[in-house]
Structure 1
Amino acid sequence: MLSFWLSSGARAEELLGLCHGDYDFGEHTLVVTSKGTRNRDLIPASADAFVWLALYMREGQPASPGDRVWWTLHPKNRRPLEYAAARQMFARAQKKLGSNWTLHDLRHTAAERMIADPAFTLVDVQTVLRHVNVTTTTIYTQPRMEDVLQKVLEHYARPPQEAPGIEPEYDGAALRELLGLPE
């Protein structure tokens, strides 16, 4: 699930609602029920996520189209994995790792990774995230401090450029007078 959240930008509930038949291993796509519109939307995910899905499915019980993909692991009370249980599972992992992420932070991370990739346009990311307005997607365009620092260091490492001179075909004295420049 983690790989899908980090690569697809799917909302937690959208991925948890995934059913057998809602994925295409060949195209690396999922069909999710969108939060706001309740539309069935096609979204891409990484090849790695599909490898993990295949491994997960190999360990599980046979399933029919329409059955939920993600299930609790409790042997006596096996049921579809709901948001509260996924959040609790994620919180336990966070405690062991000493980190403080939410499931929604994974969607933000996916968006920030896509925006950082020069192959993606802002509209591409908007489409993957299924935002109605591109302005919603712009919240992910905040520069990372390490990138800004690197650009500043590169800026100061470049030799200063000479100011352009007056082209020979222009009357230099007239231009200096017009622009108020010293002789």
Structure 2
Amino acid sequence: MAFWVSTGARASELLTSNERDTLPGQQLIGVIRKGTQDYQQLPASPDSFVWLRLYQEEAWRKGVPRGRGEPLWWTLRRPWRPLNYHAARAMFVWTNELLGSNWTLHDLRHTATFRMTEDSEMSLIYVQHILAHKYQTTLQKYINPSKDEVITAGLAHFARLELRRKNPLPTTPAPDYNPDSLSVLFGGPRT
């Protein structure tokens, strides 16, 4: 679940990963994209890889096949089979019953998308690419800020402008330019 909620991969896409597709040191996992069938590496949270390793150790102790070409996700009952979408969905339904919730695997993709779009330093172009959306307009439903968020962002904008006005960056004229001429052209104190 940590991979679904951090990568934004579709449920079926994450199930295409083999052991060789995980690069914990780079925080990447590779998947086959649903629409294009292209291989794409996706960034994932550090805790995803911790949970993966715990899962792998438990599975390997039980006898699940291991090796770089082996599927990453397995059923944990014999006979060992690669985890498919229907089994993952059944696992999720069981988890929902335990928790008294009604989430779907696709809701985890929405959660990842909301988290990425709420990060002001994360470009929507990157989010679009990570999610493999053909059009950026698909992200519109995730970027509707509340009135409080708009006011807070607007006030922060004006605070930054005021800070820049009070503490302007020092300017050094380019060589061979007369500082007095630059002051006349661009304003500012005369020397």
Q: TM-score, normalised by structure 1?
A: 0.76
Spell out the pairing of 1:2-151 with structure 2 (5 A cutoff).
2-61=1-60, 63-74=66-77, 76-143=78-145, 147-149=146-148
Q: Are the aligned partners of 1:3 and 1:48 in contact in 2 as well (CA < 8 Å)?
A: yes
Q: 1:127 Cα deviation (Å)?
A: 1.5
Q: Are the aligned partners of 2:28 and 2:42 in contact in 1 as well (CA < 8 Å)?
A: yes
Quote the residue 1:172 is aligned against.
none
In 1, distance between residues paired with 2:39 and 2:73? 18
- Partner of 1:65: helix, strand, or coil? coil
Q: Cα deviation per residue 1:75-122 (whole Å; 9 max; x = unaligned)?
A: x32211110111011011111211111101100110001111111121
Segment drifting more, 61-70 vs 114-123: 61-70
Give the structure with the larger helix fraction. 2
Moved over 2 A (4+): 147-155
The 3 A distance-change label for structure 1 pair 119 and 150 is closer
Segment drifting more, 98-107 vs 60-69: 60-69
Q: Which runs of 5+ in 1 are unaligned?
A: 156-183
Q: 1:142 Cα deviation (Å)?
A: 2.9
The 3 A distance-change label for structure 1 pair 49 and 153 is closer
- Partner of 2:18: helix, strand, or coil? coil
The 3 A distance-change label for structure 1 pair 67 and 9 is same
Q: Are the aligned partners of 1:19 and 1:67 in contact in 2 as well (CA < 8 Å)?
A: yes
Q: Which amino acid aligns with 2:23?
A: D
Q: 1:149 Cα deviation (Å)?
A: 4.8
Q: TM-score, normalised by structure 2?
A: 0.73
Q: Share of identical aligned residues, percent?
A: 45
The 3 A distance-change label for structure 1 pair 154 and 5 is closer
Q: 1:66 Cα deviation (Å)?
A: 1.6
Q: Which amino acid aligns with 2:71?
A: R
Q: Which runs of 5+ in 2 are unaligned?
A: 155-191
Q: Are the aligned partners of 1:21 and 1:65 in contact in 2 as well (CA < 8 Å)?
A: yes
In 2, distance between residues paired with 1:124 and 1:99? 31
- Partner of 2:25: helix, strand, or coil? coil
Q: Are the aligned partners of 2:59 and 2:76 in contact in 1 as well (CA < 8 Å)?
A: no
In 2, distance between residues paired with 1:130 and 1:23? 19
In 2, distance between residues paired with 1:153 and 1:124? 25
Q: Are the aligned partners of 1:122 and 1:138 in contact in 2 as well (CA < 8 Å)?
A: no
The 3 A distance-change label for structure 1 pair 23 and 150 is closer
